């Protein structure tokens, strides 16, 4: 779920307890000021929604917190609005803009490679896990796709909700995608947007199977980790947090020296032999091998990081973590899926005694990382995931108000 300006959250210092709910009411109108009935109002990341009445009015009961509202009505551009509920009910007025140019926007640049790029997008956005095999993107025509060949960057946007049918977890996901980028050179994937989850209709047997798969998707996920970290129960719920220290590779010469030697020896071979054969045990091959060596090596510290030293409280609704190097997070209560562990370059190397535990690393991009009681993250760009967390994507996501089956009956 995408969240907005941090300054908004500091007005929450005086929040009342989360058990108290307040009314968020409002009116949906068009540009002429006329009421719009039948507009869908969704709370991003949750399973909370309503519809505007004949006068364009709506009401929602919400706990104190920060929410992104999504408003959708056929013929109008979807709107997202950030709302903070502190210690009282609030009323807002929202104006939708007619979407007379939407069709032109998505068909203006025919591209023979469009299908290939959309398949790339689906792999990187929906995922390649077993659950992703039961997902369908129902409206790929609304995607605006651009590929920069020089920079090897795939960019995808949309001004309409993506509709993703997830038959593995039993959800219909409406996702208002702000931005998706895949950087081919660094292999970094970034996306931000606003999801809304609806339950699919199913038999009692299907619903039971969905509950089981939803629990499996939630357990060990970033959402589960940060939710348990907020409650100081990460260790109890199966997470072990270590530090991975990155150090320069003493066996790898500086890039400038490697480049200079490769250029020198390449020119020499071209002058002498007119043809370059790579693979012989000669000086050029030596320097090419040096180039392939990692610039840094990772050293795992087996000393567990204590939650009390990692987590700091900002106010009554938000906490933060800050760290150097990388966090090495092992989830001990589920094993890695064979589809992941057998994929080249995905699994994180680990000591043999960790077995097949789900392992992920977290690199800090923007410090600190702010997070909430429900496991939500303030800024999706603040961290870079590798390992298991990087593999699981939209196909393995559950709503922010998801309650694990095992705790639903708990007081």
Its domain, for residue 287, covers 253-292
Query: Would you say residue 229 lies in a domain?
Result: yes
Quote the pLDDT of residue 101: 52
Same domain assignment for residues 62 and 144? no
Following DSSP, what letter does each residue of 314-338 receive, concatenated?
Answer: EETTEEEE--SSEEEEEEEEEEPPH
Is the pLDDT score of 294 beyond 50?
Answer: yes
Quote the pLDDT of residue 262: 87
Instruction: Mean pLDDT check: name the lowest of 2-16, 122-136, 309-323, 369-383.
Output: 2-16
Same domain assignment for residues 28 and 166? no
Q: Tell me the pLDDT tens digit for each residue of 334-381.
A: 999 999 988 777 888 888 888 899 999 999 999 999 998 889 888 878
Same domain assignment for residues 304 and 364? yes
Residue range 243-259: average pLDDT? 88
Query: Would you say residue 409 lies in a domain?
Result: no
Q: Tell me the pLDDT tens digit for each residue of 266-275.
A: 887 777 666 6
CA distance 348 to 320: 25
Residue range 311-326: average pLDDT? 91
Same domain assignment for residues 332 and 277? no
**Element (DSSP H or E) covering residue 358:** strand 357-364
E-assigned strand segments in 119-250? 135-137, 144-148, 153-157, 161-166, 171-183, 188-199, 239-248
Is the pLDDT score of 313 beyond 60?
Answer: yes
Same domain assignment for residues 177 and 228? no
For the chain, the 3-state helix, strand and coil shares in percent, each to the nearest 5, are: 25, 35, 40
Summary count for the chain: helices (H), strands (E)? 9, 23
Quote the pLDDT of residue 274: 61
Quote the pLDDT of residue 110: 63
Instruction: Mean pLDDT check: name the lowest of 2-6, 155-159, 163-167, 321-325.
Output: 2-6
Where is the domain boundary, 263, 292, 321?
Answer: 292
Same domain assignment for residues 377 and 351? yes
Same domain assignment for residues 68 and 107? no
Q: What is the CATH number of the domain that holds 69?
A: 2.60.40.1120
Quote the pLDDT of residue 63: 84
In this prediction, what percent of the chain has a pLDDT beyond 70? 89
Quote the pLDDT of residue 273: 65
Same domain assignment for residues 239 and 136? no
Is the pLDDT score of 104 beyond 50?
Answer: no
Query: Would you say residue 213 lies in a domain?
Result: no
Quote the pLDDT of residue 12: 35
Residue linked to tokens 């709910």:
21
Quote the pLDDT of residue 15: 34
Query: Would you say residue 58 lies in a domain?
Result: yes
Query: Would you say residue 230 lies in a domain?
Result: yes
Where is the domain boundary, 100, 129, 146?
Answer: 100
Where is the domain boundary, 292, 315, 349?
Answer: 292
Query: Would you say residue 200 lies in a domain?
Result: yes
Of 384, 390, 377, whose CA–CA distance to 6 is shortest? 377
Residue 279 pLDDT level (bands cut at 50, 70, 90): low
Report helix angle 255-273 to 283-292, nearest 10.
150
Residue range 33-38: average pLDDT? 94
Same domain assignment for residues 12 and 69? yes
Query: Would you say residue 375 lies in a domain?
Result: yes
Same domain assignment for residues 375 and 241? yes
Is the pLDDT score of 148 beyond 90?
Answer: yes
Q: Tell me the pLDDT tens digit for each residue of 48-92.
A: 999 999 999 999 998 887 888 999 898 898 888 988 887 889 999
Quote the pLDDT of residue 246: 79
Instruction: Mean pLDDT check: name the lowest of 19-23, 71-75, 112-116, 232-236.
Output: 19-23
Residue 276 pLDDT level (bands cut at 50, 70, 90): low
Quote the pLDDT of residue 280: 62
Global confidence as pTM: 0.78
Quote the pLDDT of residue 351: 85
Query: Would you say residue 407 lies in a domain?
Result: no
Instruction: Mean pLDDT check: name the lowest of 10-19, 102-111, 324-333, 385-394.
Output: 10-19
Quote the pLDDT of residue 350: 86
Same domain assignment for residues 80 and 112? no
Same domain assignment for residues 169 and 142? yes
Number of independent structural domains in the chain: 4
Of 200, 36, 85, whose CA–CA distance to 134 is shortest? 200
Residue range 161-179: average pLDDT? 94
């Amino acid at each position: 779920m995408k969240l907005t300006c941090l300054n908004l959250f500091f007005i929450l210092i005086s929040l009342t307890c989360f058990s108290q709910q307040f009314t968020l009411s409002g009116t949906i109108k068009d540009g002429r000021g006329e009421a719009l009935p039948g507009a869908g109002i969704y709370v991003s990341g949750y399973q909370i929604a309503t519809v505007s009445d004949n006068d364009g009015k709506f009401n929602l009961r919400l706990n104190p917190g920060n929410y992104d509202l999504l408003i959708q009505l056929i013929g109008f551009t979807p709107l997202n609005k950030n709302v903070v509920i502190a210690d009282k009910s609030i009323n807002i007025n929202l104006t939708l803009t007619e979407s007379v140019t939407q069709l032109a926007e998505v068909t203006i640049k025919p591209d023979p490679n469009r299908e290939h790029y959309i398949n790339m997008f689906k792999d990187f956005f929906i995922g390649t896990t077993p659950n992703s095999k039961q997902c369908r993107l129902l409206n790929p025509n609304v995607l605006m796709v651009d590929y920069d060949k020089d920079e090897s960057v795939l960019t995808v946007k949309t001004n309409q909700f993506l509709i993703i049918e997830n038959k593995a977890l039993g959800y219909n996901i409406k996702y208002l995608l702000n931005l998706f980028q895949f950087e081919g050179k660094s292999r970094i994937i970034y996306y931000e947007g606003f999801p809304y989850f609806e339950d699919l209709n199913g038999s009692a047997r299907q619903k039971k199977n969905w509950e089981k798969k939803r629990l499996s998707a939630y357990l060990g996920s970033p959402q589960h980790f940060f939710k348990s970290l907020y409650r100081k129960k990460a260790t109890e719920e199966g997470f072990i947090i270590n530090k991975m220290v990155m150090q320069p590779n003493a066996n790898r010469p500086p890039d400038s020296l490697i480049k200079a030697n490769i250029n020198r020896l390449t020119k020499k071979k071209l002058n002498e032999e007119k043809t370059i054969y790579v693979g012989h045990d000669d000086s050029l091959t030596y320097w090419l091998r040096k180039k392939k060596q990692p610039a840094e090596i990772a050293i795992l510290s087996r000393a567990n990081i204590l939650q009390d030293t990692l987590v700091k409280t900002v106010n009554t609704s938000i906490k933060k973590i800050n760290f150097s190097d990388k966090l090495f997070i092992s989830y001990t209560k589920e094993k890695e899926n064979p589809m992941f562990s057998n994929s080249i370059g995905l699994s994180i190397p680990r000591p043999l005694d960790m077995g097949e535990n789900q392992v992920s690393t977290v690199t800090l991009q923007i410090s600190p990382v702010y997070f909430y009681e429900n496991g939500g993250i303030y800024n999706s760009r603040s961290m870079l995931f590798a390992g298991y967390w990087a593999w699981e994507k939209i196909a393995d996501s559950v709503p922010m108000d998801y309650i694990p089956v095992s705790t639903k009956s708990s007081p």
